Structures are given as C-alpha cells and as structure tokens.
Structure 1
Amino acid sequence: MIMVTGATGNFGRPLVTELAAQGRKVRALTRTPERAELPAGVEPCDSAAPDFAGVSALVLNIAGAPGSTAALLGAAKAAGVRRVVTLSSLLVATDGEAAAEGSTAAIHRDLEEAVEEDFEQWTHLRPGGFASNALQWKAQLQAGDVVHGPYAGACTAPIHEADLAAVAVRALLGDELLGLAPSLTGPQELTLAEQVEILGAVLDRPLRYQEIGPEAAKAAMLAHNSWVQEEMIDSLLSFLADTVGRPALVTGEVERILGRPALTYAQWAEANAAAFSALA
C-alpha cells in the first residue's frame, strides 16, 4: 500500500491516477475524504487521522501533510513504512546550506534531513517552478485578459506535474532513484510574461502580464492563500527577484529518468485550457 499526502492536489492527483492505473493499492490523504473524487480502487483517508496500517511507502508533500510533519514521519516509522519519497524543492540544491531559517529552501532541507535520519529508503524530488503555478491566475483570466503579478521577467523552467508524477512513480516502484535527490525542471526557460503569452496563444486571447510591486503582490497572495505562511511568500518573492535577467536552470533529469522528452509548458496549457475560460 502506498500513502499519498495531498492526493487531490496538482501533484498528488496525477500521481494517484498513475498508480491506480498500474494496479497499485493507494491510500489517498485528503482533508475532505467524503467528497474526494478519486480513481476507482483508491482508498480515501482523512488527513486529520492518517491510517498507516499496511502502508509500505509514503509520498510526503509538505503542503498536503496534516499537522506536524515530525509526527507524521514518526507514525510512519512506527507502522513499519520502509520507503519515503519527498516532494522537496530545487532551492535546496541551489541555496540550501545558506538558506535563511523559515525560507522555502530551509523548510525543505530540514524535511529531507528528517527523512534521511529515520528511513533507509528515500528519494527527494527537487522540482523548480511548477507549470500548474499558473492556476493562481485562474480568477484573473476568467475575468479579463490581464495578469497582475510581481517580476514579469522572473525566469524559471516550469515542470509539467504529469512529469513530476511519473518520476515519483519510478521512485516508488523501482530502486534506481533510491538515495538520490534529482533536480527536476521543464525543458525550457520562460519568464512569467512569456508563460502568459503562451497561455494566450493556446486560448486564442490577447493575454498580457502587468507587473505590480512586490508588496502589492504579497498582499494579494496573503488574501487568497490563508494557509500560506508569510515567510514562505517572502522567500518566493525573493526567489523570483533573483531570477530576473538570469538564465533558468534546465537540468534534463526528467528526460534521463523517463527516457522521453519532458512535456512543455505549451502542452500543459493545452491540457488545462478549460480552467482559464473567460466568464460569460
């Protein structure tokens, strides 16, 4: 049995779907198990009361983990879970040792260390920007053709969540990624403004990115994401600022691991176009 935290999220959903398609037993942690739409055969489980009975592997997404991560890992170890695949961050590889306390890099660095201390079988997935981060623009693009956000020139290589899920499946079902922490990116570097342009081309709409100041962006993020800590937003804005005018890291690890080209941002946009349909 494989337990997946954040099972209905942008990463968890395609992972659960792929595991179920391969006939694997999956227990999906979710805050709303009674309403969760899951593939046939997947067992929903209330994230407030994780049931580790029969679980041999855990996919740990800190954003979808209930309460204390330390308590969750302790319960997993006590129940005999043998393998942990963590959803970490590329920032651990780029500035993990120098990361300020409370930053995204420091939080994920500490998570990796905790997993390594208690579990012999581990893999840390270190993605950079997610293509699905564009879903934060959903409301704006349903209402109009302008995205207001910070640092239009911030440059990343966003990864398609289906690729990230496919790598996670390899880490769960095989041994070739044990003890490794691959840095995972999409196949091309794109600024935030370029991402919006690609969405516009896919949607056949004249979309554009309008840059606003970081303080205004922070206030908007806090207003729409009550569960996100202020320190994490500060860390994100600092990261975006640092990427302006700099080439993004493109690793090629997805292609090496999966044996096929990584999916592009345009492919992600085409698969998720309906989410951005303008309101009537």
Structure 2
Amino acid sequence: MIGATAHFGRQTVEALAGAGRKVRALSRTPEKAGLPEGVEVVRGDLARPETLGAALDGVTELFLVLPYGMDAQPLLDRVRQAGVRQIVFLSSGAVVDGADPQPDGGPAPVNDAVEQLTGHPPRPYTQWVTDNLAAFR
C-alpha cells in the first residue's frame, strides 16, 4: 500500500488487515505509522524511488494513493521493474477541488501511465471496494 498513512490508505489497510489479508505498507517513518498489528511496514519515500526496492519485492497488487502534483513516472518505473501486475489507484489526491479543467490533467496522466505499464487501466478504488466489500464489513 502506497499511501498507507493517508486517510483512505489507512482505512483500506485497517479493513484488509482486519479481514486477515497480508498487507505491506510503505512509510517514510515506519516507527510512527501506527498501523494495525500484523501489517508489514517498510521504509521508503515516494520522492526517492531508489528506496522502494524492499517495499515492492514480491508485490503483485498495489494500492496507490498519490499527492497532487507528484511526478508518478519514476515510481511507476520501479513498479514495472518489480513486476507488479495490478494497480488500484485512488485518484482523488490528484484532483484540485473546483478546478475545471484540472491543472496538469489531474489524475489522467497517472491513469495513462498505469495503463501503459500494466496493459490495462488502473482499477478505480471504488470498484475495488465494491468487488471486495466483505473486507469492509
């Protein structure tokens, strides 16, 4: 989970861990993450993709919550190298409230980059929650 300590990321981690799912969470400061017991918290920084190796090792599915304005390409390059097959992207962090059109295309550039990386568009977070609703009960 990239974005595990953000609002939606934390809720998703808690729901998955509560449902008995194996979760690995990225944090710049694992000792301060405060995530549920059993969650593997690994150190890494999105602004420094070279720190993401351990976080991505063996990962096949990735939940991605990005801050607005972040250049996601270096991260997605690391994700490609790691062999991640599926990405669930919560794009609301890449949206500026009330802006129409969205500056810099909003989440569209990340969606396009994810589609190029995986061969299909990212699964919307809302669709993933619907498909996996039992984990959120």
TM-score range, shorter chain: 0.7 to 0.9
Task: State the aligned residue count.
Answer: 122
Q: In structure 2, what is the equivalent of residue 85 of structure 1?
A: 88
Task: Compute the displacement of 1:107 (Å).
Answer: 2.8
Q: In structure 2, what is the equivalent of residue 124 of structure 1?
A: 124
Q: In structure 2, what is the equivalent of residue 99 of structure 1?
A: 101
Task: Compute the displacement of 1:14 (Å).
Answer: 0.8
1:5–1:28 CA contact under 8 A, matched in 2: yes
CA RMSD after TM alignment:
3.0
In structure 1, what is the Cα distance between the partners aligned to 2:57 and 2:28? 19
Q: After TM superposition, which residue ranges in structure 1, 4 or more long, deviate above 2 angstroms?
A: 98-102, 167-171
Where structure 1 has 5 or more consecutive residues not aligned to the other structure, the ranges are: 93-97, 126-163, 174-257, 259-280
Percent of counterpart pairs with the same letter?
Answer: 39
Q: Deviations over 1:43-101 (max 9, x none)?
A: 1122322221110111111129xx74111111111111000011124x98xxxxx7354
Q: In structure 2, what is the equivalent of residue 13 of structure 1?
A: 10
What is the aligned counterpart of 1:63 among 67, 76, 96? 67
Structure exhibiting the larger radius of gyration computed from Cα positions: 1
1:19–1:169 CA contact under 8 A, matched in 2: no
User: What amino acid is aligned across from residue 15 of structure 1 in structure 2?
Assistant: T
Q: In structure 1, what is the equivalent of residue 48 of structure 2?
A: none
User: What amino acid is aligned across from residue 10 of structure 1 in structure 2?
Assistant: H
1:59–1:86 CA contact under 8 A, matched in 2: yes
Task: Compute the displacement of 1:120 (Å).
Answer: 3.2
In structure 2, what is the Cα distance between the partners aligned to 1:73 and 1:43? 21
1:6–1:12 CA contact under 8 A, matched in 2: yes
User: What amino acid is aligned across from residue 99 of structure 1 in structure 2?
Assistant: P
Q: In structure 2, what is the equivalent of residue 239 of structure 1?
A: none
Normalising by the residue count of structure 2, what TM-score does the alignment of the two structures yield? Answer: 0.74
Where structure 2 has 5 or more consecutive residues not aligned to the other structure, the ranges are: 46-50
